[in-house]
Structure 1
Amino acid sequence: MTSVLFIHGLWLHASSWAPWEDLFRDAGYETSAPGWPGVPDTVEEARATPESIADHGIDDVVAHYAKIIEGLDSKPILVGHSFGGMIAQKLLGQDLAAAAVAIDAAQIKGVLPLPLSSLRVTFPVFKNPANQHRAVSLTAEQFRYAFGNAITEEESDRLYEQWAIPAPGKPLFEAAAANFNPHSPAKVDTANELRGPLLLMMGGRDHTVPEAITRSTLKQYRHSDAVTDILEFADRAHSLTIDHGWREVADAALAWLKAHSL
């Protein structure tokens, strides 16, 4: 049975993938959604112990999932959201996955656009350099701008209460410095000709990872003949994996996998 490994991003707990796991299991996949290193098993524990989440960088997270993949019988399909989408691309570039779906993926090294909305989303982290070694929480209002701007305030606040957790600041500092660091952990092997297929998904109203970032990410793969596709949900924002319209996104991912005999 083919395994699907779901990888969450910043500020969302791994358990937010539960509806996706149910859907993919019903479609015949074996699924798992392990948290980032240091992330406790529940939202409540994660909120109560932010220090356990703090100071984990991109390389730590990649190594964490690579070790999980080592324990599987075969290369899994990866589905990642936000920074989880970046992690999925790194693992795919390292030939550790059969395919990857990267949804509103954080910018990799080489991506130059820096939209103002992205700066506003990350300001709670970047306003204090010490946050590089801390875990930072968003307020409900900040979450609404970063994730829930295309849904009602009521739904955004409900999702915040249900899934939001503190996030390590370190990956954001690493990504921000990526284009000035030749050995940046945000670097992905985009020229790999032998990797599995990649689908980049994006929300057209996303404040956190605007369309310009995803389209620039696609360009980074121009030197590889491996399959790289892109799909836009024009009216969706960063909450597209957890809000009322998640099923449309998940079904599109399943259809893409089927089209590539995965």
Structure 2
Amino acid sequence: MSPELEIFRRSPTGKAKSKNPIVFVHGAYTGAWCWNEHFLTWFADQGFETISFSLRGHGGSGGRALRSLASIDDYVEDLEEIVETLGKKPILIGHSMGGYVIQKYLERHTAEAAVLLASVPPEGLLASNAMMAMAQPDLFFQMFWLQAIGPHTLLRERLGRAMLSPDIAEDEGMIYFGRLETESHRALMDMMGANPVFLSSTEVPSMLVLGARNDEIIQSELIHRTARRYNADYALIDDIAHAMMLDKNWEKVAETILQWLEVTLVTQERRKGNKSAA
């Protein structure tokens, strides 16, 4: 039996732009709160029903005592549970590990559209970790300590700069950093190659792969490679760090997603109309 999940919902403001709700999937070390700061309400104000939830063992969800044993497949099960309550095909937006969870979900399910945001690539974390270890060894070891001891002020300066731009309000950045928590060891091992993604470009819905141009955690080369793998639309955002939904230029990210969604959903509705007419 799955643990009870923490769920947040916002109804669309004014006329609904789509009958398909947006479901946000957070990354490692965080919870639904990372979407609630800006994206949940912003996209509701643009006319979308929005849902964010905390994966088991994260945020206010149950299963905290067994968090270190949770697998990526368990996280996919959490996403399945959320989608089943909707009765509609979702628009899926996932950040970092959340993007990996979405890719695994799409192995067996469909979605109206998907956005991978600074996402772990389908081949997992081996390449990104190797690139980080060679180019930023100090950051590589701080990521290790984050997992070993959790968020700590000693890690704030270097790890904080990889997560958020240096000039974000210090108090705001410290609040975000203090809310991080250790991740499941098993889930991290899954993303190191124990549970690879088996998903081809012919199986994915309309997809946008977004990254931060100077991301030190999921490097832009890997974002481009993921987009090529899925034959997906692709964009890099300037002047933003890995935590793209929280950083100072988060609205640039949201607007890029919105513009893409507006074009994609209209195109899909036309295709459906043409099929019906035929």
Query: Partner of 2:247 in structure 1?
Result: 243
The verdict on how the C-alpha distance between 1:36 and 1:121 changes in structure 2, with shifts beyond 3 A counting, is: farther
C-alpha displacement of 1:173:
2.0
- 1:199 matched to 2:215? The reply is no
Query: Partner of 1:259 in structure 2?
Result: 263
Extract unaligned runs of 5+ from structure 1. Answer: 179-183, 223-227
CA RMSD of aligned residues (A): 2.9
TM-score, length-normalised on structure 2? 0.75
Is the CA contact (8 Å cut-off) linking 2:212 and 2:240 kept in structure 1?
Answer: yes
Residue deviations 1:15-63, cap 9 Å, x none? 1211211111122211111111122428xxx9xx963532212111112
Inter-partner Cα distance in structure 2 for 1:142 and 1:11 = 16
Q: 2:218 aligns with which of 191, 209, 215?
A: 209
Query: Partner of 2:27 in structure 1?
Result: 9
Q: Which has the higher contact order (CA 8 A, sep 6+)?
A: 1
C-alpha displacement of 1:127:
7.3
Inter-partner Cα distance in structure 1 for 2:249 and 2:139 = 22
Query: Partner of 1:234 in structure 2?
Result: 238
Identity of aligned residues (%): 24
Is the CA contact (8 Å cut-off) linking 1:112 and 1:216 kept in structure 2?
Answer: no
C-alpha displacement of 1:120:
5.3
The verdict on how the C-alpha distance between 1:125 and 1:235 changes in structure 2, with shifts beyond 3 A counting, is: closer
Is the CA contact (8 Å cut-off) linking 1:148 and 1:239 kept in structure 2?
Answer: yes
Query: Partner of 1:225 in structure 2?
Result: none
**Residue identity in the other structure for 2:25:** I
C-alpha displacement of 1:197:
0.6
The verdict on how the C-alpha distance between 1:244 and 1:55 changes in structure 2, with shifts beyond 3 A counting, is: same
The verdict on how the C-alpha distance between 1:119 and 1:189 changes in structure 2, with shifts beyond 3 A counting, is: farther
Query: Partner of 2:227 in structure 1?
Result: 218
- 1:27 matched to 2:36? The reply is no
Q: How does 1:1-262 map to 2 (within 5 A)?
A: 1-18=19-36, 19-41=38-60, 51-109=65-123, 112=127, 114-116=130-132, 121=139, 123=141, 137-139=150-152, 140-141=156-157, 143-152=159-168, 154=170, 155-161=172-178, 163-176=179-192, 178=193, 184-191=194-201, 193-221=202-230, 228-261=232-265
C-alpha displacement of 1:256:
0.5
TM-score, length-normalised on structure 1? 0.79
Extract unaligned runs of 5+ from structure 2. Answer: 1-18, 267-278
Is the CA contact (8 Å cut-off) linking 2:142 and 2:159 kept in structure 1?
Answer: no
